[in-house]
Amino acid sequence: MNKAFQTANLLVAAGVATAMILEIVLLATNRIDALFTAPTEFVPFGTRLVEMFSFLTTLSNLLAGIVATLLAIRPERAGRVWRVIRLDALVSIVAIGLAFQILFAPHLTLTGAPLVLTLLYHVVNPLLALLTWLLLDRRRQWSFRDVALSLIWPALYLAAIFTRGVFVHWYPYALADVDTLGGRAYLNGLGVIVLFFVLGSLAFLVDRRVPSRRSPDKEVQP
Protein backbone atom coordinates (compact mmCIF):
# COMPACT_ATOMS: atom_id res chain seq x y z
CA MET A 1 0.00 0.00 0.00
CA ASN A 2 2.91 2.37 0.68
CA LYS A 3 4.10 1.89 -2.91
CA ALA A 4 0.62 2.87 -4.11
CA PHE A 5 0.80 5.96 -1.89
CA GLN A 6 4.17 6.94 -3.33
CA THR A 7 2.97 6.35 -6.89
CA ALA A 8 -0.16 8.44 -6.32
CA ASN A 9 1.96 11.28 -4.97
CA LEU A 10 4.18 11.09 -8.03
CA LEU A 11 1.05 11.50 -10.16
CA VAL A 12 0.06 14.59 -8.17
CA ALA A 13 3.55 16.04 -8.60
CA ALA A 14 3.50 15.26 -12.33
CA GLY A 15 0.09 16.90 -12.76
CA VAL A 16 1.28 20.05 -11.01
CA ALA A 17 4.53 20.20 -13.00
CA THR A 18 2.61 19.75 -16.26
CA ALA A 19 0.18 22.56 -15.42
CA MET A 20 2.89 25.00 -14.38
CA ILE A 21 5.14 24.31 -17.37
CA LEU A 22 2.17 24.65 -19.72
CA GLU A 23 1.14 27.96 -18.17
CA ILE A 24 4.65 29.40 -18.37
CA VAL A 25 4.89 28.38 -22.04
CA LEU A 26 1.50 29.93 -22.83
CA LEU A 27 2.44 33.13 -21.01
CA ALA A 28 5.83 33.31 -22.73
CA THR A 29 4.28 32.86 -26.17
CA ASN A 30 1.60 35.50 -25.48
CA ARG A 31 -1.27 33.01 -25.87
CA ILE A 32 -2.87 33.75 -22.50
CA ASP A 33 -2.88 36.39 -19.80
CA ALA A 34 -3.03 35.78 -16.06
CA LEU A 35 -6.71 34.81 -16.37
CA PHE A 36 -6.02 32.20 -19.10
CA THR A 37 -7.75 34.35 -21.75
CA ALA A 38 -6.28 35.90 -24.91
CA PRO A 39 -4.20 39.01 -24.04
CA THR A 40 -5.76 42.34 -24.93
CA GLU A 41 -2.67 44.42 -24.16
CA PHE A 42 1.09 43.94 -23.90
CA VAL A 43 2.35 42.91 -20.48
CA PRO A 44 6.05 42.10 -19.92
CA PHE A 45 6.74 38.41 -19.31
CA GLY A 46 8.26 39.17 -15.91
CA THR A 47 5.07 40.88 -14.82
CA ARG A 48 3.04 37.94 -16.09
CA LEU A 49 5.12 35.56 -13.99
CA VAL A 50 4.57 37.69 -10.90
CA GLU A 51 0.84 37.71 -11.63
CA MET A 52 0.87 33.95 -12.20
CA PHE A 53 2.29 33.37 -8.74
CA SER A 54 -0.13 35.87 -7.22
CA PHE A 55 -3.02 33.44 -7.69
CA LEU A 56 -3.91 31.09 -4.87
CA THR A 57 -4.58 28.50 -7.57
CA THR A 58 -0.93 28.52 -8.67
CA LEU A 59 0.49 28.63 -5.16
CA SER A 60 -1.83 25.87 -3.92
CA ASN A 61 -0.85 23.61 -6.79
CA LEU A 62 2.82 24.41 -6.23
CA LEU A 63 2.56 23.64 -2.51
CA ALA A 64 0.68 20.41 -3.20
CA GLY A 65 3.25 19.41 -5.82
CA ILE A 66 6.19 20.02 -3.50
CA VAL A 67 4.54 18.10 -0.66
CA ALA A 68 3.63 15.23 -3.00
CA THR A 69 7.21 15.04 -4.30
CA LEU A 70 8.63 14.89 -0.78
CA LEU A 71 6.11 12.23 0.24
CA ALA A 72 6.93 10.15 -2.83
CA ILE A 73 10.58 10.26 -1.81
CA ARG A 74 10.03 9.67 1.92
CA PRO A 75 6.46 8.84 2.99
CA GLU A 76 7.34 8.62 6.70
CA ARG A 77 8.14 12.32 7.15
CA ALA A 78 6.76 13.82 10.36
CA GLY A 79 7.09 16.81 12.69
CA ARG A 80 4.71 19.66 13.60
CA VAL A 81 5.86 22.07 10.91
CA TRP A 82 5.60 19.32 8.31
CA ARG A 83 2.10 18.36 9.50
CA VAL A 84 0.91 21.96 9.19
CA ILE A 85 2.44 22.30 5.72
CA ARG A 86 0.76 19.05 4.65
CA LEU A 87 -2.59 20.24 5.94
CA ASP A 88 -2.18 23.57 4.16
CA ALA A 89 -1.32 21.80 0.91
CA LEU A 90 -4.41 19.60 1.13
CA VAL A 91 -6.83 22.30 2.21
CA SER A 92 -5.49 24.85 -0.30
CA ILE A 93 -5.85 22.66 -3.36
CA VAL A 94 -9.27 21.35 -2.28
CA ALA A 95 -10.41 24.93 -1.61
CA ILE A 96 -9.46 26.15 -5.07
CA GLY A 97 -11.13 23.11 -6.61
CA LEU A 98 -14.37 23.84 -4.75
CA ALA A 99 -14.24 27.56 -5.49
CA PHE A 100 -13.73 26.84 -9.18
CA GLN A 101 -16.72 24.49 -9.36
CA ILE A 102 -19.01 26.93 -7.54
CA LEU A 103 -17.88 30.32 -8.85
CA PHE A 104 -16.18 29.82 -12.22
CA ALA A 105 -17.08 26.51 -13.87
CA PRO A 106 -20.67 27.58 -14.73
CA HIS A 107 -19.28 30.53 -16.73
CA LEU A 108 -16.31 28.77 -18.34
CA THR A 109 -15.81 29.61 -22.02
CA LEU A 110 -12.19 28.50 -22.54
CA THR A 111 -11.10 26.05 -25.23
CA GLY A 112 -7.87 24.36 -26.32
CA ALA A 113 -4.71 24.65 -24.23
CA PRO A 114 -6.17 27.20 -21.77
CA LEU A 115 -9.02 24.78 -21.04
CA VAL A 116 -6.57 21.94 -20.45
CA LEU A 117 -4.59 24.19 -18.12
CA THR A 118 -7.72 25.18 -16.22
CA LEU A 119 -8.84 21.58 -15.79
CA LEU A 120 -5.40 20.48 -14.57
CA TYR A 121 -5.19 23.26 -12.00
CA HIS A 122 -8.78 23.16 -10.76
CA VAL A 123 -10.08 19.63 -11.31
CA VAL A 124 -7.45 16.96 -12.01
CA ASN A 125 -4.81 17.99 -9.48
CA PRO A 126 -7.26 18.73 -6.63
CA LEU A 127 -9.01 15.39 -7.17
CA LEU A 128 -5.72 13.47 -7.30
CA ALA A 129 -4.48 15.15 -4.11
CA LEU A 130 -7.77 14.59 -2.28
CA LEU A 131 -8.12 10.93 -3.30
CA THR A 132 -4.49 10.18 -2.49
CA TRP A 133 -4.98 11.45 1.03
CA LEU A 134 -8.44 9.99 1.49
CA LEU A 135 -7.77 6.51 0.14
CA LEU A 136 -4.06 5.88 0.66
CA ASP A 137 -2.70 8.03 3.48
CA ARG A 138 -2.33 7.10 7.12
CA ARG A 139 -4.60 8.61 9.79
CA ARG A 140 -4.33 10.43 13.13
CA GLN A 141 -1.72 12.82 11.78
CA TRP A 142 -3.21 16.15 12.87
CA SER A 143 -4.33 17.84 16.04
CA PHE A 144 -6.79 20.71 16.25
CA ARG A 145 -3.81 22.97 17.00
CA ASP A 146 -2.47 22.06 13.56
CA VAL A 147 -5.78 23.28 12.08
CA ALA A 148 -5.37 26.61 13.86
CA LEU A 149 -1.74 26.98 12.76
CA SER A 150 -2.68 26.17 9.17
CA LEU A 151 -4.63 29.44 9.00
CA ILE A 152 -1.36 31.39 9.04
CA TRP A 153 -0.80 30.46 5.38
CA PRO A 154 -4.03 31.93 3.92
CA ALA A 155 -3.68 34.96 6.20
CA LEU A 156 -0.18 35.65 4.86
CA TYR A 157 -1.37 35.16 1.30
CA LEU A 158 -4.22 37.64 1.72
CA ALA A 159 -1.94 40.17 3.42
CA ALA A 160 0.48 39.89 0.49
CA ILE A 161 -2.08 40.42 -2.30
CA PHE A 162 -3.84 43.25 -0.47
CA THR A 163 -0.53 45.00 0.25
CA ARG A 164 0.73 44.61 -3.32
CA GLY A 165 -2.62 45.79 -4.63
CA VAL A 166 -2.22 49.12 -2.84
CA PHE A 167 0.85 49.86 -4.98
CA VAL A 168 0.04 48.26 -8.34
CA HIS A 169 -3.79 48.39 -8.25
CA TRP A 170 -4.03 44.81 -9.51
CA TYR A 171 -5.64 41.95 -7.65
CA PRO A 172 -5.64 38.30 -8.74
CA TYR A 173 -9.34 37.83 -7.98
CA ALA A 174 -12.29 40.16 -8.50
CA LEU A 175 -13.51 39.24 -5.01
CA ALA A 176 -10.30 40.73 -3.59
CA ASP A 177 -10.30 43.94 -5.68
CA VAL A 178 -10.21 46.67 -3.05
CA ASP A 179 -10.30 49.41 -5.71
CA THR A 180 -13.70 48.16 -6.87
CA LEU A 181 -15.25 46.63 -3.76
CA GLY A 182 -13.70 48.66 -0.97
CA GLY A 183 -14.19 47.09 2.44
CA ARG A 184 -16.16 44.18 0.97
CA ALA A 185 -12.91 42.81 -0.42
CA TYR A 186 -11.55 42.44 3.11
CA LEU A 187 -14.74 40.69 4.19
CA ASN A 188 -14.30 38.32 1.26
CA GLY A 189 -10.78 37.68 2.51
CA LEU A 190 -12.21 36.84 5.91
CA GLY A 191 -14.51 34.40 4.15
CA VAL A 192 -11.45 32.68 2.67
CA ILE A 193 -10.03 32.24 6.19
CA VAL A 194 -13.34 30.76 7.33
CA LEU A 195 -13.36 28.37 4.36
CA PHE A 196 -9.86 27.19 5.21
CA PHE A 197 -10.90 26.67 8.83
CA VAL A 198 -13.96 24.65 7.83
CA LEU A 199 -12.02 22.47 5.38
CA GLY A 200 -9.17 22.04 7.84
CA SER A 201 -11.63 21.00 10.55
CA LEU A 202 -13.23 18.48 8.18
CA ALA A 203 -9.82 17.07 7.33
CA PHE A 204 -9.09 16.79 11.06
CA LEU A 205 -12.36 14.90 11.67
CA VAL A 206 -11.74 12.51 8.78
CA ASP A 207 -8.18 12.04 10.01
CA ARG A 208 -9.55 11.01 13.41
CA ARG A 209 -12.51 8.87 12.39
CA VAL A 210 -11.92 7.27 8.98
CA PRO A 211 -9.71 4.14 9.10
CA SER A 212 -6.46 4.15 7.16
CA ARG A 213 -5.81 1.66 4.37
CA ARG A 214 -2.09 2.40 4.40
CA SER A 215 0.28 0.09 6.26
CA PRO A 216 1.97 1.72 9.23
CA ASP A 217 5.51 2.96 8.91
CA LYS A 218 8.06 4.50 11.20
CA GLU A 219 7.80 8.27 11.31
CA VAL A 220 10.96 10.36 11.18
CA GLN A 221 11.52 14.07 11.46
CA PRO A 222 11.97 15.93 8.15
Which residue, 51, 193, 45, 38, is CA-closest to 109?
38
Checking if the pLDDT of 221 tops 60, the result is no
Cα–Cα dist 8/6, whole Å: 5
pLDDT of residue 211: 72
Boundaries of every domain in the chain = 2-209
- Please state the rounded mean pLDDT for residues 92-119: 89
pLDDT of residue 77: 85
pLDDT of residue 213: 60
Cα–Cα dist 50/64, whole Å: 19
Those residues with Cβ within 8 angstroms of residue 110's Cβ, 6 or more apart along the chain or in another chain:
36, 37, 118
The backbone torsions φ and ψ at residue 77, rounded to the nearest 5 degrees and listed phi first, read -55, 145
- Which amino acid would we find at residue 206? V
Cα–Cα dist 170/177, whole Å: 7
pLDDT tens for 82-103 read 999 999 999 999 999 999 988 8
Calculate the average pLDDT of the chain: 91
CA–CA–CA angle 26, 166, 187 (5° rounding): 95
C-alpha Rg value of the chain to the nearest Å? 18
pLDDT tens for 38-87 read 888 888 999 999 999 999 999 999 999 999 999 999 998 889 899 999 99
